[in-house]
Structure 1
Amino acid sequence: MDRVDRSPKKIYAIAGAIALLVISGISFLLWPLSGEKFNKDAWQRTITDKESSTCYRGEMAKDIIKNHLSAGMKQQEIISLLGKPDTDKGVDEIRYILGMCSGLGFDYDALHIYFKKSGEFSHAKIYQH
């Protein structure tokens, strides 16, 4: 009968390798959203068919959330900053397509911007669809 080696060194080595793989996988999937500064011209430029399968806006999304959207902003102010939304869900939400940012290239990501009933900015999130 074979014995399985369950020494602490081997268990820690295996756990470390698994943790490294998980962290690497998450980093690979999220790296496009790492943080380029928002550039209005780059954000609003026309995207070619070839570029549509890339993460053409994704790197700017976190900077927009962190540094350009703030409490009290009205929907029209945000539209003036970012341009016409790709999807308009009425008075409480607008969306901007970021491109295929997952690293696997088969799902689009989008910046969802939400508004209070008063029409003021509430919060924003990045979702993969």
Structure 2
Amino acid sequence: MRARLALIGALALAGCGGEIPDEAAPTEGAALIPATQPMGPGLYAVGDGTTVYARTRLSADGTYTDMTEAGETVGGGSWSSREDVICFDPEGDGEDQQERCWRNEAPDEDGSFRSLQVDGEGEYRVMPLEE
């Protein structure tokens, strides 16, 4: 569970620092991806469309906090975004704490959107939440 939350945290869950990795460059077929990032400071539910795995708060200072549904902090780190790529760098240097970048699709009518890990390793459904 902690590894899954660390992965989710890497989603929202920064610091791509400098250049966007080559694998994060826009590709053909990326027409569904908006010109600007649908994520910014705020609270998000992260899951698979039917189950919420965690809630992630993105702060304006470039940090994020991952929480359980009950509000218990389970992780965090820093985040940054550029156009259609958002990157998360969890605190620490453990195996599940490497920076990961995600490409988010355009939001659906309900505001939720699909987030795909740039290297193709993961996919989540993200829903902005009212605070």
The answer, yes or no, to whether TM exceeds 0.5 is no
Answer 1 or 2: which has greater helix percent. Answer: 1
Q: Which has the higher contact order (CA 8 A, sep 6+)?
A: 2
TM score, norm. by length of structure 2: 0.29
Bigger Rg, structure 1 or 2: 1
- Looking at secondary structure, tell me which structure has more strand per residue: 2
What is the TM-score of this pair, normalised by structure 1? Answer: 0.29
